Amino acid sequence: MNIKDIVNVRFENPKFKFDGKRMRVLQERKVVDWSSAIILQMKTRSLDSISINPNYQLNNQLINLKSPDQCYNDLSYAITSKFEHLSMNKVRSPVHVVRWTPDGRRCMSGTATGEFSLWNGYGYNFETILQAHESSIRTMCWSHSGKFLVSADNLGIVKYWHPSMNNIQVFQGHDEPIRDISFSANDSKFCTASDDSTIKIWDSNDSRCESVLSGHNWDVRNAQWHKYKSLIASAGKDNLIKFWDPRAASELYTLHSHKSTLLALKWSLTGNYLLTGGKDQVVRIFDIRNMKEAYSHKDHRKEITSLAIHPIIPDYFVSGCGDGTIYHWQMFNETPMEVVTNGHEFTIWSMEWHPVGHTLASGSMDNTVRFWIRPRPDDGKIVNEEDN
């Protein structure tokens, strides 16, 4: 008995009860599989990978598409500008943060209704949802070891999560919304930035507040621990970028380069540069070795609301704007490599790459999580079957 027959019988006889012995209709679901790039890398690892240039004009060369870590010399093969999938909950709600699990099998999104949504890392389809917080989720951060996740909400509550999504610990971190969380290099500490204009340093084991960093005159929107140094960079609505020594709980240096509120801050992969963006529509790159501005990217048309650094290629990053546009940049190059206009309908609040670097996830005020991949050979071109 198929679905139409069941519907017809129910319509004719309301007391009809289905016994559950029908087969579900099979549906094709597209997935993005990065294994071919890894297999190619393993197959050719004894050779000079940079000298291998496959012929991308042939569709059968798709299997030879390089993995992102082999695209240092030509970033055009690594740009994740092709829209692949849109994911949205049944109950629509703005997405404030997106994070990939450390193993890359799932992408998590935190929404304004306090829910965690988990999306499959291959097909980007919905997997599960849970009510994680009672108020809007503002930030999430995985420990470097991948053993636990820390999330925070609009009420200033901090929660620990096991990778199985079991809640381990709950405590009141701040009295105002928490905007950012970042772990130290060895995961023994983490810091939280809040609208109460303070940054707090916490012990990861016993959830004890060790020190409070006070110096900002307004909301602190970002606080990021350095990749390997005992150094924290913070930024907020007072237009200031501050550097802190978490051991002495003291301020080290202040930068006054931005002219308006700062909304995004990220460390480069090498840790030598700090990238910042905000309402002045400029991404500024600071060299912490001399505490001076090294470069600025100025082609944005709206405020910069999010930044993401590629997990493998050190000079590749993206910026998301208030009009839903995504800019793909190479550091110290004034022209963007790619501009995705109307990537989202409204403000992009969060972006993050898959650990392999082949997919970019973005979360927005338009209630959606969108996934972006690398274009395949001959995308958008008419293929002549006789030529192939």
Strands of the sheet with 316-321, listed across from one edge = 304-309, 316-321, 326-330, 338-340
pLDDT attached to residue 36: 65
Cβ distance 210 to 202 under 8 Å? yes
pLDDT attached to residue 98: 98
pLDDT bin (cut points 50, 70, 90) of residue 286 is very high
Q: Across residues 87-97, what is the average pLDDT?
A: 93
Q: Across residues 347-372, what is the average pLDDT?
A: 96
Question: What is the C-alpha to C-alpha distance for residues 131 and 153, in angstroms, rounded to an integer?
Answer: 12
Cα end-to-end span (Å), the chain: 44
Say whether pLDDT at 86 is over 70.
yes
Say whether pLDDT at 143 is over 70.
yes
Q: What is the pLDDT of residues 291-318, one digit of tens each?
A: 999 999 998 999 999 999 999 999 999 9
Residue 364, helix vs strand vs coil: strand
pLDDT attached to residue 59: 52
With a CB cutoff of 8 Å and minimum separation 6, the contacts of 160 are: 148, 149, 150, 167, 168, 169, 170, 207
Say whether pLDDT at 65 is over 80.
no
Place of tokens 């944005």: 300
Say whether pLDDT at 348 is over 60.
yes
CA dihedral 165, 171, 176, 180 (to 10 degrees): -50
Among the listed ranges 36-45, 153-162, 166-175, which one has the minimum average pLDDT value?
36-45
pLDDT attached to residue 384: 47
Question: What is the C-alpha to C-alpha distance for residues 380 and 219, in angstroms, rounded to an integer?
Answer: 45
pTM confidence score: 0.83
Say whether pLDDT at 173 is over 90.
yes
How much of the chain, in percent, has pLDDT values that exceed 90?
A: 73
For 198, other C-beta atoms within 10 Å of its C-beta total 19
For residues 387 and 332, which has the higher predicted lDDT (pLDDT)? 332
Say whether pLDDT at 83 is over 60.
yes
Cβ distance 56 to 377 under 8 Å? yes
Q: What is the pLDDT of residues 255-271, one digit of tens each?
A: 999 999 999 999 999 99
Mean predicted lDDT score pLDDT of the chain: 87
Q: What is the pLDDT of residues 315-334, one digit of tens each?
A: 999 999 999 999 999 999 99
Among the listed ranges 216-230, 299-313, 366-380, which one has the minimum average pLDDT value?
366-380
Among the listed ranges 71-75, 88-92, 238-242, 348-352, which one has the minimum average pLDDT value?
71-75
Cβ distance 246 to 191 under 8 Å? yes
Q: Across residues 158-167, what is the average pLDDT?
A: 94
SS3 for 14-61 is CCCCCCCCCCCCCCCCCCCCCHHHHHHHHHCCCCCHHHCCCCCCCHHH
Domains of the chain: 3-64 (no CATH), 77-373 (2.130.10.10)
Say whether pLDDT at 163 is over 50.
yes
pLDDT attached to residue 31: 76
pLDDT attached to residue 42: 66
pLDDT attached to residue 358: 92
- How does strand 359-364 pair with strand 262-267? unpaired
pLDDT attached to residue 382: 44
For residues 58 and 190, which has the higher predicted lDDT (pLDDT)? 190
For residues 1 and 234, which has the higher predicted lDDT (pLDDT)? 234
Among the listed ranges 149-163, 186-200, 370-384, which one has the minimum average pLDDT value?
370-384
Supply the DSSP string of 145-161, one letter for each residue. Answer: TSS-EEEEETTSEEEEE
The b-or-e profile of 299-322 (16+ CB within 10 A means b, else e) is ebeebbbbbbbbbbbbbbbbbbbb
Q: Please give the structure tokens belonging to residue 126.
A: 């919905």
Supply the DSSP string of 278-329, one letter for each residue. Answer: ETTS-EEEEETTTTEEEEEE---SS-EEEEEE-SS-TTEEEEEETTS-EEEE
Say whether pLDDT at 2 is over 60.
no
pLDDT attached to residue 26: 63
Q: Name residue 173's beta-bridge partners.
A: none
Q: What is the pLDDT of residues 29-43, one digit of tens each?
A: 777 776 666 666 666
